[in-house]
Structures are given as C-alpha cells and as structure tokens.
Structure 1
Amino acid sequence: MKLAKTYLLMSMLLCTSLAYAQYTRLPQISSKIYSVKDYGAVGDNKTVNTQAIQKTLDLAKTTGGKVLIPAGEYLCGPLNLYSSTNLEIVKGATLRLTNIINDFPSEKNRYLNFINISKATDVKISGGGIIDGQGEPWWIATTAKTLTMRRPQLLYMEGLQRVEITGVTFLNPPNTHISLKNCSDVYIHDVRIEAPAKSRNTDGINISAKNCTIERCTINTGDDNIAINFGNKKQAEDDPEVQNMLISDCNFGVGHGLSIGSYTSGSLRNLKVRNCSFDGTTSAIRIKTARGRGGILDQVSYENITIRNSRWPIFISQYYPHEPKTPQEDTTTAIGAYNPIYKNISLKNITCSNCQEALILWGLPESPIQNIRFEDVKISASKGAQIYHVSKAEFVNSAIKTTEKPRIYNSTVTGL
C-alpha cells in the first residue's frame, strides 16, 4: 500500500510538471558505463579517435548505457550514435571535429555530420563539456566557393523519440550546431551555443518536433538562433509536423533571431515562447515563408519578451526572402498550392528598445495574416510600423514610439 501511494504521488508530480513542459517522456537509459579511454581513445588533441570512440558507441548499442568522454581534448571524425545511449562529455572534456577538409568523409554528395543519430529512441547528450566543430576553415571555403558538397552539421538527429540534450557547450560548427528533424518528446535545456556573428549558416537549433521544450539556453551564432522548420509537403492541419512546443527562459545574442520558417508546409500548431531576451539579434521574433513553401501556423504566442538593439524586432512576412517595394505591387488573388496561412498569433508584455524597424506585418493579398493581438507591447524604434494585408490586428494597451507614422494597407487595425 505504501509503495502504491508513493507511485501515485510521483505520478501526480509528473503530471504537474508536464502541465508546464511540452515533452511527455524523458529517455530511459541503463546505468551501464563505457569510457572511451578503455577502448583506446587519447585526449591529447593530436590523436584522431574516430575508431576508438565509434567502437565504444557500437558496444553501447548492444546493451544501452552511458558512453563517457573523460577530461581531455579528443580529436575525432564523424560518429554514429544509437538508441538507449547517453553520450556524456564531462566538464573539462572537449570532443573536437577534425578540420582537414580535403580528407573529410562524404556520402551521397554531402560531407558526413559530426554526430549522426537516425530513427532511434531514448537518446541523451549531456555533461559540462564541449563539442567543438572547428568550423572556420569551412566558412572560409564557403565564402571562396571552393566546396562542392554540403558542410557537416555538428549534431544531426532524424526520426527520434525521447531526446534530452543538457549541459553541453556547442561551438563553431561547419554548418548548423543542433539539427532535429521529425522528432518527438524532445527536451533541450541548459546548453550554450556559440559561433561568431560572421560565421556561415551556423544556426543554433534547427528543429521540427512534436512535444518539445527548449529552456534556459544561451545562443549566439551567425544565422538563426533557433529555426523552426517544417517542410514536409503535406499541409497537415489535423496533424501538424510541429506541435506543442515551448521555448522558455532563453537568452539570444548575435544571430538572426527566433525564426519560424522559411519552410512551413508541414504546418504548426501551439507554439509558446516566454520569458526570453534578445540583445543584438538582427531579427528577434520572426516568422518567414513564401508562396510554394507555406503551410498553416495556428496558435502561436509570445509573452514576457525583452528585445534590445535589433534591426527587425518583430518581423512577420509571407514574402521570404524579399518583400515587394510596396504592397501595391503584388495584386495576386488566386490561392495556389502551399500558400502560407498565419492565424491566431498573440504577443503580450513585449518591450523593444533601440531598434530600427518598429514592426513589420506583411501578409499576402490572397492570404492575409488573421487575428494577431498585441497586448502591453511597447516599441521604441527609428522607423514606423508596416502593416500590409492583415485581416485583424488588435493593439491593447500598446504603443510604438517613433517619428514616423504607421504605414497600413489593406488591413484592419484597432487600438494603435
């Protein structure tokens, strides 16, 4: 009876926690430990440890358990990680990608990702250590247009269930830091992601997932800090590719902001962003797509957000990558395949200071932005608001401080 009561109490506490979080189950992994040093890995920043570390991961594949990267600097090539495995990089350890481009392995006309995980369950990446992509030679080669294949991503996951990423610092990938595609029950928390502002295509987190929480992360990068992409060509309003996602208590520095899109054809429902700060991001709150790659975005909310020193603090557009010079230039009325639909967007308690463009809302003439509400939103910017093709924009206790009048076209706006 006592055990039953304890189990009931734990279940109640879990349900209370999940009312806040969006994931439903964390990965379940055995307590068995495999240290890469026991299988020949040397942390001297000279030895290439690809075979030793992959051998350790292969052993863990059979039983499940923790693969431990002890203190040291482990130079390594591409790796594959499997179900029921916890890759733990301890504080004082660095897992560093080799950066000799000419000898880097490739397959199907693309360079292999550093850590690749596909169609797995119960996966965890943890520890206080570092995963370093040594990406600068790749960025230089990209600028010089000498690469013929797509660059490696630092951590790539596709088709996973029950994923946790915690504690690790991700640095300087050749391409994206963390990429998750079509995953479910994802918990990313307390990680740091860093790359220079001028680094090429170094998105922090590029993700499509169901039941996901991202919280207490710090992200500075050369592209989107977070990019929510969902490009399956299906327009699945009843079962969107992205649903039930929470992004909370994160700090975003240099980068292109927290972006939805530009591929949105798989549709999204129920995204909550709250208690986040942006400082120096080119964009902050950004939704971007275009005809031919759009789907349905429904029930998107932002609350308790601080934005400083941003060019585009709130930028919602259906014309990515380029808007017309004026809204009058585009008079299309026919609704084509994969036209974007944005509806039921809420922004509450948002403060934007020292910004350039106050606000850009730019829908399509045949598919205007539907039902966007601003409550307790205060914006200070050099240039005034642009509101084009919006069927209902409601401002409650909100103000835009600028020397320019708002530019409004084919829109219904109240309270501004």
Structure 2
Amino acid sequence: MSDRLRCWTLLFLFAAIGFCAAAQAKDRRTVAEPVRPNGVCARLVPSGKDDTGRLQTAIVQCPPGAAVYLTGGSFLSGPLEMKSGVTLWIERDATLFAVAEPNAYDKGSGTCGRIAGKGDGCRPFISFSKTRGGGIYGQGRIDGQGGALMVGSSESWWQLARRAQTEGGYQNVPRLIQIDHAQEITFHGITLRNSPNFNVAMNRVQGATFWGITIDTPGDARNTDGIDPGASEDVTITHSIIRTGDDNVAIKAGSNGPSRHISIIDNYFGWGHGMSIGSELSSGVSDILVRGLTLDGTTSGLRIKSDVSRGGLVEQVTYEDICMRGVRSPITFDTRYDPHARGDSVPIYRQIVLRHVYGGDGALVMRGLDQQHVLGVMLDDVRFAATASWQVENVDLTTGRSGISPPLEGATWTPASQASTRCAKSFH
C-alpha cells in the first residue's frame, strides 16, 4: 500500500458514515414542481421596436403574486429589474431578446463592450436584487444574443471575450441573469440561450428552484457558465438540460459567504466543463447532493477545484447515479487548480462520497495538497473502462462493498463489465 493512499479497514463503519452524510446533504426545503402564478397583471405582445420601457413599467406596476405575460412573437429589450413577488411569464411562442447595445448595459465607466484592466462594467440583462418570491416561468425563450454584432462594433460579445483571452485584459460583457441578495426565486420551463457571459449567477441567495429549464449556449462561447450558486443556500436544480461554454454548474463560496444545502437532481449536461465546485472556496461549501446526472461530451465530469490562493473547506458532498459518456476528465478533485498560486487558504475536501458512478476512459484525479491536508473520499460502485487511469495523491480512501474499477492500489475492485450496461441508462 502506498504511503499516500490508505484504504481503511473499518469499511462498513465508514460506508455507514457516507450514507449518513448523503441523507443530510441536500436542499432543506420540501421542493415540488412549481405551479404557475394565479393571475396575470399585464398581457403584452411585441411592439416591433425596443420594448424595454413597456416591460419595465409592467413589472413595476404588477402586484406581488401576479405575472407579466409575454406572447405573440419576438420582444427586444435592454436591462430589466424584477420586483418582489412578480413573475415574468414567457409563453411558448414568445422570445425575449436582449439588445446587443453596450451603452444600454454600461454601469457608468464606459467600459461595457470593451476590454479593460478590470471587468464588471456591464449590468445584467435581468436582475433580481433584494427581491423575495417571483421568478421566470413559461415554455418560451430568453436570448442573450451573445453571437450578434454589438451596436457600433464589428464583433460580438463572444468575440470580444475570446479576444480578451488572447490579448490580455478583462472582457466587459453582460450576464444574462443575476440573482443578488434574494429569497425564494423560481425558474420553471424557460429556455435560456446565447448568453453573452454567465447564464445565471447567484450571490447570497436563500432558496432558489430551477425546474425543467434549458440552457443552451455554444461550447466555444467563453465564460458562459450555466448556473453558478455563489454564497447561497437551499437551492435545487432539477429536470434540466444545460449545454454551455464553461461550467454547466459551478458552486462557489468566496469571501461573500458559504454555499450549502444544494440539490442537483435528475439533470442532463451536454457540452460544457461539467459539474464543478470552486474555484473560490474560502467561505466553505457543504451539504451538496448531486444525484441522477448524465454528462455527455463535457470536458470535465465531477470536479472540485481550488488552490492555496482561494481554498477552503468542502465537506459532505455526495454524488450518486452518475453516468458520464465521452468525458475527457471524469473525476478531478484537485487542490492545485493553479499550480503557481500563492497563499495560505488551504483547500480541504472531506466526506466526499461517490456511489454508482460510471464512465469510460480518461483521467481520474484525486489530489490532496500534502500529507497534512489529505482528501477524504469514499467510493462505492465506481466503474470506468480499463483504459481509465487513476492519479491519486494524498488521499484517505474508503471503498464500499461494491468496489471500484479499474483497480486502485489498496482498494477492492470488481470487473468493469457491468459499468457500460448501467451507464447506457440515462438518469435524466
């Protein structure tokens, strides 16, 4: 047995601890499929021109508990600010397009739509700020027009972001939806597509439900994360499809506060960078349940990423019933996300449970910082192709009775023949 890898002999005791952690790691609310609002305060059809003023006025005048209802075709709008208790309801035949006009989003610095020494120069398209209740419903679409040419420019939001990557500096482009210091926000059925930047970014949110939504952004659109719960708690993402150009979901916890009690259940991830935790973890992440997830062709699968410049404690994270197909790096639990990072914010990952996790080949990486800061991981019925490779360093590893494959020194395992059959099943 390697001095960097201990397979604890008290197998059943630690397996029981893993099951206990799984029972606790989730959204504490009782979450059911959302029902549509009771009433409609305004029923709008497109005007054929910029509808920002009409939409914002309807939202402001709408009483809590009611919805602004969009139907009849294509709406064009600049930034909108939601009101507590008010729902934006977009019917199946309606699409709300975001204007590709940097001046409409500019925060006053004149940098929106430009590369600058810092980012955050643009307002989001739709913002929920200090609101309670309400959300976005319907079978319609919100289109951020990330690939459309910006007004007064020869490039799109996405082209600007890619140019910033090659030339240096920060792209200033708008997020599609920002939820900030809000409570009990609900998204149901809606399709978000072509976001210029993050699709849904959350900061200090208490209670959010995303049920049956679709996020669809090209795989080469830079920094277009799907849903990012940051400093948030009691969040459920379920029955949803997410395809994007960066992390499909990324749970973050920087200096703004911890993220905890999050359920990610019965979802499908197409292209993207996978199911991520990090890299900002200084306030800690805990009580996370990822169950019934299919990942098709993502660059990464299950990923916890940080380093000593932004690390923190990640604990009680359970992954169950996970199917990965064509995933380049199926497992990456890495405390050296930036190998050149400096600092004393040590990343510590413990009580990480993987159960019924299946995939093909690729790198299976679990790397603790050092022998004083090892990862605590339990694997049970974790099966990959024989060509998959384990890269394990500074890990306290426990295996459940169903074992793992391919074999790992010091751990029990069983042949992988059952894995492909089980992973052929879609958990979505």
Give the TM-score taking structure 1 as reference length. Answer: 0.81
1:23 CA displacement = 2.8
Match of 1:217 among 220, 235, 240: 240
Residues 392, 171 of structure 1: alpha-carbon distance in 2 compared, 3 angstrom cutoff: same
**Root mean square deviation of aligned Cα:** 2.7
SS of 1:302's partner is strand
SS of 1:263's partner is coil
Q: Is 1:200 matched with 2:201?
A: no
Residue 190 of structure 1: aligned partner: 212
Contact 2:251 2:277 in 1 (8 A): yes
SS of 1:111's partner is coil
Q: Residue 245 of structure 2 aligns to which amino acid in structure 1? A: G
Residue 375 of structure 1: aligned partner: 380
SS of 2:359's partner is strand
1:271-312 deviation line (CA, Å, top 9, x unaligned): 111111111010011100111211111111011111110110
Larger deviation: 336-345 or 196-205? 336-345
Identity %: 30
1:227-256 deviation line (CA, Å, top 9, x unaligned): 11111266xxxxxx2221111110011000
1:399 CA displacement = 3.5
SS of 2:53's partner is helix
Q: Residue 379 of structure 1 aligns to which amino acid in structure 2? A: F
Match of 2:46 among 32, 42, 48: 42
1:66-124 deviation line (CA, Å, top 9, x unaligned): 111112100111110010111111111100001134x3331154111100111111122
Residue 93 of structure 2: aligned partner: 92
Contact 1:318 1:340 in 2 (8 A): yes
Larger deviation: 278-287 or 24-33? 24-33
1:64 CA displacement = 4.9
Q: Residue 276 of structure 2 aligns to which amino acid in structure 1? A: S
Q: Residue 162 of structure 2 aligns to which amino acid in structure 1? A: T
1:145-181 deviation line (CA, Å, top 9, x unaligned): 3996521111110111111111000001000111111
Q: Is 1:415 matched with 2:412?
A: yes
Distance in structure 1 (CA, Å) of the matches to 2:78 and 2:250: 26
Contact 1:36 1:53 in 2 (8 A): no
Residues 149, 277 of structure 1: alpha-carbon distance in 2 compared, 3 angstrom cutoff: closer
1:198-236 deviation line (CA, Å, top 9, x unaligned): 1111111011321121110001110000011111266xx
Contact 2:26 2:288 in 1 (8 A): no
1:395 CA displacement = 5.8
Which runs of no fewer than 5 residues in structure 1 stay unpaired?
1-17, 235-240, 325-331
Residues 321, 381 of structure 1: alpha-carbon distance in 2 compared, 3 angstrom cutoff: farther
* Number of residue pairs the alignment of both structures matches: 366
SS of 2:219's partner is coil
Residue 67 of structure 1: aligned partner: 68
Residues 28, 191 of structure 1: alpha-carbon distance in 2 compared, 3 angstrom cutoff: closer
Residue 131 of structure 2: aligned partner: 120
Give the TM-score taking structure 2 as reference length. Answer: 0.79
Residue 299 of structure 2: aligned partner: 282
1:144 CA displacement = 2.7
Which runs of no fewer than 5 residues in structure 2 stay unpaired?
1-23, 110-120, 148-155, 414-428
SS of 2:263's partner is strand
SS of 2:222's partner is coil
